[in-house]
Amino acid sequence: MSLKISPVSFNPTIEEKRKWRDFVAASPHGDVLQCLEWGPVKKPESQPLAVALRNGDGFDATALVLKRALPPRKATMGRSLFYLPRGPILDWSKPDVFENMIEELKAEARKHKAISLKIDPCVLQNTPGFKERLAKVGFVTSPEVHPIFGGTQPRCNMKMDISAPLDNVLSDTISQKWRYNIRLSAKKGIRVEDNLGRDGLKIFHDIYKVTFERNHFKGYSLAYFEKMWDALAPSGLIKLFVSFHEGQALSAAICFLLPPQCWYMFGASSNEGRNLMPNHAMQWAMIQWAKENGCTTYDFRGVPDPELGEIPPHEEGLVRFKSGFGAEMVCYEGEFDLPLSKSWYWLWTQGRPKLMAAVKKLKR
């Protein structure tokens, strides 16, 4: 039996959210982006839908779907795209569960005139039989590749094992140089605050603006982070950390928590006080917090996909920083599309990029 929550009535109870969240957390492929709480964060650009296979009072599979209208709406006659960030969540060793879930998703997609269904589950690269199973029901490798990270979500993450006692994590996992930097930051008077709550987002965003201007990427607005906080904080899925020196904020970060995993999702660092090692102090504080909350994995999130060529200089520095904490690169299978309308899918993935390139050429 399938549970479906339409965009209009996407207002699950606290108990429904908890059961769904527990199912996602228990999966080795689980991710906060597949919790029901993530849906409202992406509104109004995307409309959240929930589809699941029930098993008694629990689930066999769940999928938070983000439905995005295909632009321009009049010309595309209400067609849409379906995207499952880090989903669906299911036991990939059970082909019948996977196939039943795809049928439910296709049925929902038809109602919303979706031209394709995009998935990018946290399934490790080269998992035996995975790609064959997808191909059997019509999935193809997504042609929309991010030039650095590979997909909408990074294909490769840096993950740190924190299952050992905290003292052992510090002595055996973190490099000697990074341990020195952690101690140095404390000696220099760096303190890390983790109780600023929603009000602290302004501090975070001020430093975040400095970061994206320095590294030349487009950042999110303060309103986006406030919306994220309002959606995730009631369920304890989000935490803000800020490092200070003599009252000045030097770095800040937002973590997502879904034990046994914790994710370092958004980071920001100022141009001042870098010699005081505020980022080392902040990361160590976040690792300790994750450990205290029952996590065995600390995920530093995305790094450049090594299969896509040369790594940009500032990203190379981030890889070294994360490696210093003992994090190792983990790569997933990537993004896959299930075309539901071959003509519209071709227009969107092949025709539209060619047209845009031609228009750009004419303008030049």
Q: Which of 37, 33, 34 is nearest to 14 (CA)?
A: 37
The pLDDT value given to residue 2: 47
CA angle at residue 309 from 306 to 315, to 5 degrees?
65
Cβ 50 vs Cβ 64: under 8 Å: yes
Pairing of strands 156-161, 328-331: antiparallel
Tell me the C-alpha distance between 264 and 283, whole Å: 9
- Least-confidence region, from 7-16, 273-282, 348-357: 7-16
In this predicted structure, the answer to whether residue 361 has a pLDDT above a threshold of 70 is: no
In this predicted structure, the answer to whether residue 214 has a pLDDT above a threshold of 80 is: yes
Percent of the chain at pLDDT > 70 equals 94
In this predicted structure, the answer to whether residue 180 has a pLDDT above a threshold of 90 is: yes
Give residue 8's pLDDT band: very low, low, confident or very high (50, 70, 90). Answer: very low
- Give me the helices (H) in the chain, please: 14-26, 73-76, 95-111, 130-136, 166-168, 176-187, 201-215, 222-232, 278-292, 313-324, 342-346, 352-363
Give the pTM.
0.92
| Cis ω before 48 (30° cut-off from 0) | no
Q: What is the average per-residue pLDDT within 245-260? A: 97
Amino acid 193 reads E
Taking only the tens place, the pLDDT of each residue in 218-234 is: 889 999 999 999 999 99
Tell me the C-alpha distance between 338 and 247, whole Å: 52
Contacts of 221 (CB under 8 A, 6+ apart): 205
Taking only the tens place, the pLDDT of each residue in 31-65 is: 999 999 999 999 999 999 999 998 888 899 999 99
The pLDDT value given to residue 364: 64
In this predicted structure, the answer to whether residue 74 has a pLDDT above a threshold of 80 is: no
In this predicted structure, the answer to whether residue 6 has a pLDDT above a threshold of 70 is: no
The pLDDT value given to residue 16: 87
The pLDDT value given to residue 316: 85
The structural domains of the chain, ordered by start, are 2-152+332-363 (3.40.630.30), 157-331 (3.40.630.30)
DSSP classification of residue 70: P
